[in-house]
Amino acid sequence: MVKSYLARRDFDFLKYRRRFLLFALCVILVGVVFNVVRGTKLDIKFTGGAMLKYSYSLDNTVSDSDVSASDYMKLDKTAIAGMVKEVTGQDSTITIAQSASAEGGVKNTITISMSGKKTMDEDTGDQLAEKMTAEYPHVDFAMIESNSVDATTGSEFFGKCLMAVLLAAVFMILYVALRFRKIGGMSAGVTAIIAIIHDCLIVYFTFVAFGFSLNDNFIAVLLTIIGYSINSTIIIYDRIRENREVMGKKATYAELANRSLNETLGRTINTNLTLIVAVLTVVIVAFIYDITSIITFAVPMLAGVIAGTYSSMFISNSLWVSWREYRDAKLAQKKLSSFSKKK
Amino acid sequence: MKRVGKPWFFVVALLIFGLAYTSFFGVYKQNGDLQETIIRGAKDIRWGTDIQGGVSVTFGPEENVDATNDQIESAKSILEIRLVSSGVTDYELYADKDNDRLLVSFPWKDNNSQDVAGTIKSLSQSAELFFIGGTPNSITITYNEDGTKTVTDETGAECDIVLEGKDVKKAESGYISNDNEFVVSLELTTEPAEGEELSGKEKFAQGTETYLNKRISIWMDDVCLSAPTVNNVISDGKAQISGSFTAESSKTLADNINGGALPFKLVTIDYSSVDPTLGTDALQAMLIAGIIAFALICVFMIAYYRLPGVVACICLLGQVAGTIAAVSGYFSVFDSFTLTLPGIAGIILSVGMGVDANIITAERIREELRKGKTLDGAIKAGSSNSFSAIFDSNVTNIIVSVILMGVFGPPDTVWSTLLTPFLWMFGTSTTGAIYSFGYTLLVGVILNFVMGVAASRIMISSLSGYKLLRGRRLYGDYSEQKKREIEAAAAKAYTKAHAERKEAAEN
């Protein structure tokens, strides 16, 4: 039986607020370093370009007693890049991967990406397969995926995606402004938005760190996280507003925030836990079956959910308390100085 | 809220189980040999090309050619005819008139050749039929900016066009047993085509007169089909094309002539293809992921929240079933949506998010119980206090899903129209995959209101009417048990102390 692990609810979160903020800053710093080292990759959906993916296997004319299968299956990347150059006149990047297949066994795939302005035409896939079969007569190649995007379409799509993010940001800010008029005003609204920016950065850095190229999945994850992360923050601030009425003016900001955090802790942890469990399951299964389109979707989503949990619990409140205390201190100082002047 | 009558739990739960059963397995009526679908099940879902495998292509006119809206519209209907005549029925076809784009995507059929290049070419071939006086070695068709066409031969001289596709009323493939040969018979128009003076019948009569005892060559695009010699003037408006046709090729040609020629040359701008085997693996993987995630969440909810946890699981089942029904269309009269891999991820995600409503309510009930409220009072307060929080989390998600659907969806939907003021300057770019994600997320969020809020409250309230189910522990309040434990410990200590004292006194 699960005992209520949160029965004792009087953690002093705000005591460690400097550490929480510092930790977030460190993570972001690591992300920046990654970004500088690895750079940002844009998908061909944004830049234009082409991708071809083949699965390959040994054909049945080769008996086991022949040279070991792995020798036949060894593809030479430079030779294949040469063939691509012959067919399309373009440079290419080639990746070879193995993954589990649903029917059991191993699936070998080779992916060829080109990022030229001129995209390939519909015959390229077949022509290349022919050339590769000529070079590796005992290997069967089957084209399983192809993608060719025009550079203009790509840049327009990129613009559209950026617009979508901007649109979502504007709507969220409007919603926050509307909602926070009652909750905590400017200070709460701004800190909530800082928390969202933190989450978006983490999603972005996840793409960079894993070497995923930014594509429409990135935009989808970004928007989802923006929509999701704001909720936890709003719920906690809503509790602060409620508790202000209960606890009165005497309670310090830290006390207020602490109590509200503790009271909503069950919800915060459990909701995020269930979501993390759901996304993590998808991540694990997608990795086992090597479903690229889902991996590049679910991994950043997982990072975003974790970042969202962290930021709503530790970042927005910590900043809010500091902001309020700083302002009060300033007000007090002002009063004091004007008082001493009078004297 | 007054406590709901006891039987309501069973009513709601049965409704949910019924919905779940029908939306997963469907309802079919056996009508003789025919199976009639009354309610669509999960197997009737239209899978996206990333699962079923298929092709997506974006066509446009050649560079520097600006197609009119009418031309785009007619190109669209020609593509439609070609798709249907080649046996593809579950295609998606959109025309973006502002940017002169035609977007087609369709899944591979079971025994399709999966020939990407061939498929794209057969869709985009111009299908221009020409009867040309004389026999040039090759011809070039040039599309002029005013919408007219010029045909030139290999020397660059303009050809004399006797007849073209639009002069044909109807084409039919046939078999002439005498010659053991397949032919395409043409019935020519008797009314002049738009902007023309002569009808097909008249043109052909004139042409055969001009070229009597000479040869006329028949071309489909830049391929010469045959070049017969004209033996007599044909004025009955009937013509025949013979060549080395097979049953299949004569039918294709007839279909193409009937479908009509494209008003401009279609160029492949973007395309993508996915092999069906790739998608089947992915679908299976996502189903496994979905079942595991659902089971884990249920175990957690029941273990942690007890009775409200059980209710939450029933609600989640309802949410998933409702989403599947919304995707398949449920009743066969409704349109169905295409479900893609990100769409399935959206269902799983919305289960993870949707449980939030139940968690918020259950937490509130528990909290109120700890404050010492009665069970009924706690349930009532828990329900009313949690509403604003649940509402908040859904509003932001709705905003996001609408943006996702508007940006990544096809043109001419409510969503994209809604966002036109912001996105008009960008071309259409359907990413069906993400569109489906936005849709399942939106449906999940809306169903969350129905299930996580309304259904779950009715169920909890009705269950709390049963004496057996009124234990506060069932709602996660252990304080009473703890009190009893403390009392018992105190009593034990007291008896022990009492016994010790007694013993001491006796000594």
Q: What is the CATH number of the domain that holds A126?
A: 3.30.70
Q: What is the pLDDT of residue B94?
A: 86
CA angle B286-B290-B293, nearest 5°? 135
User: Does the pLDDT value for residue A5 go beyond 60?
Assistant: no
What is the average pLDDT score of chain A?
84
User: Does the pLDDT value for residue B469 go beyond 80?
Assistant: no
Residue ending a domain, choose from A149, A177, A212: A149
Of B355, B388, B403, the CB nearest to A168: B403
Q: Which residues of A are less than 8 Å from B356 in CB distance?
A: 231, 267, 271, 274-275
Chain A (74-103) residues lying within 8 Å, Cβ to Cβ, of chain B? 101-102
Select the CATH number that applies to the domain covering B54-125 from these four: 3.40.50.720, 3.30.70.3220, 2.40.40.20, 2.40.30.110.
3.30.70.3220
| Statement to judge: residues A85 and A106 lie in one domain | yes
Q: What is the pLDDT of residue A2?
A: 40
- CB contact under 8 Å between B389 and A148, yes or no, is no
The mean pLDDT of B327-346, rounded to a whole number, is: 83
**pLDDT bracket for residue A135 (50, 70, 90):** confident
Of A121, A171, A289, the CB nearest to B399: A171
Task: Name the residue with higher pLDDT: A230 or B386.
Answer: A230
Tens-digit pLDDT profile for residues A193-209: 899 999 999 999 999 99
**CB pairs < 8 Å spanning A and B:** 238
Question: Is A37 part of a structural domain of the chain?
Answer: yes
User: Does the pLDDT value for residue A69 go beyond 70?
Assistant: no
- CB contact under 8 Å between B396 and A216, yes or no, is no
What is the C-alpha to C-alpha distance for residues B402 and B406, in angstroms, rounded to an integer?
A: 6
Nearest CA-CA distance, residue A31 and chain B, Å: 26
DSSP 3-state percent helix, strand, coil across chain B (nearest 5): 55, 20, 25
- CB contact under 8 Å between A145 and B120, yes or no, is no
| Statement to judge: residues A28 and A71 lie in one domain | no
Of B121, B348, B366, the CB nearest to A122: B121
What is the ipTM metric for this complex? 0.83
Task: Name the residue with higher pLDDT: B429 or B462.
Answer: B462
Nearest CA-CA distance, residue B218 and chain A, Å: 27
Question: Is A26 part of a structural domain of the chain?
Answer: yes
Q: What is the pLDDT of residue B80?
A: 84
Residue of A119, A145, A175, A281 for testing the chain B interface, max B β-carbons within 10 Å: A281
Tell me phi and psi for residue B245, to 5 degrees: -85, 150
User: Does the pLDDT value for residue A7 go beyond 70?
Assistant: no
Question: Is A126 part of a structural domain of the chain?
Answer: yes
- CB contact under 8 Å between A291 and B281, yes or no, is yes
User: Residue ranges per domain, chain B?
Assistant: 8-44+275-476, 54-125, 129-261
| Statement to judge: residues A66 and A27 lie in one domain | no
Indicate the number of domains in chain A: 2
Question: Is A202 part of a structural domain of the chain?
Answer: yes
| Statement to judge: residues A62 and A18 lie in one domain | no
- CB contact under 8 Å between B289 and A282, yes or no, is yes
| Statement to judge: residues A266 and A305 lie in one domain | yes
| Statement to judge: residues A261 and A128 lie in one domain | no
What is the average pLDDT score of chain B?
83
A62-to-A134, B29, B265 alpha-carbon distances in Å = 16, 51, 47
- CB contact under 8 Å between A275 and B282, yes or no, is no
Question: Is A292 part of a structural domain of the chain?
Answer: yes
User: Does the pLDDT value for residue B244 go beyond 80?
Assistant: no
- CB contact under 8 Å between A291 and B269, yes or no, is no
CATH number at A165 reads: 1.20.1640.10
Q: Which of A331-335, B465-469, B482-486 has maximum average pLDDT?
A: A331-335
Q: What is the pLDDT of residue B428?
A: 65
User: Does the pLDDT value for residue B430 go beyond 70?
Assistant: no
Question: Is A1 part of a structural domain of the chain?
Answer: no
Question: Is A313 part of a structural domain of the chain?
Answer: yes
| Statement to judge: residues A204 and A305 lie in one domain | yes
Tell me which CATH code domain B8-44+275-476 carries: 1.20.1640.10
The mean pLDDT of B286-309, rounded to a whole number, is: 91
- CB contact under 8 Å between B478 and A4, yes or no, is yes
The mean pLDDT of B71-88, rounded to a whole number, is: 82
- CB contact under 8 Å between B303 and A227, yes or no, is no
What is the C-alpha to C-alpha distance for residues B349 and A274, in angstroms, rounded to an integer?
A: 10
Chain A (32-51) residues lying within 8 Å, Cβ to Cβ, of chain B? 45
Q: Could you tell me the pTM of the whole model?
A: 0.80
The domain of A167 spans 13-43+153-336
One-letter amino acid of B113: S
Helix (H) or strand (E) holding A147: strand A139-149
| Statement to judge: residues A124 and A261 lie in one domain | no
Task: Name the residue with higher pLDDT: B257 or A272.
Answer: A272
Exposure string for A142-168, b = 16+ CB within 10 A, e = fewer: ebbbbbbbbbebbbbbbebbebbbebb
| Statement to judge: residues A124 and A158 lie in one domain | no
| Statement to judge: residues A92 and A21 lie in one domain | no
User: Does the pLDDT value for residue B373 go beyond 90?
Assistant: no
| Statement to judge: residues A29 and A144 lie in one domain | no
Residue A144 sits at the chain B interface (C-beta within 8 Å): yes
The mean pLDDT of B143-153, rounded to a whole number, is: 75
Helix pair angle (B432-448, B341-370), 10° resolution: 20
User: Does the pLDDT value for residue A30 go beyond 90?
Assistant: yes
Task: Name the residue with higher pLDDT: A119 or B240.
Answer: B240
Q: Which residues of B are less than 8 Å from A44 in CB distance?
A: none
**Closest by Cα among A266, A278, A264 to B304:** A266
The mean pLDDT of B204-233, rounded to a whole number, is: 85
Q: What is the pLDDT of residue B503?
A: 85
Q: What is the pLDDT of residue B445?
A: 87
CA B401 to chain centre: 16
User: Does the pLDDT value for residue A3 go beyond 70?
Assistant: no
The mean pLDDT of B157-177, rounded to a whole number, is: 85
Q: Which CATH class is domain B129-261?
A: alpha beta
| Statement to judge: residues A233 and A105 lie in one domain | no
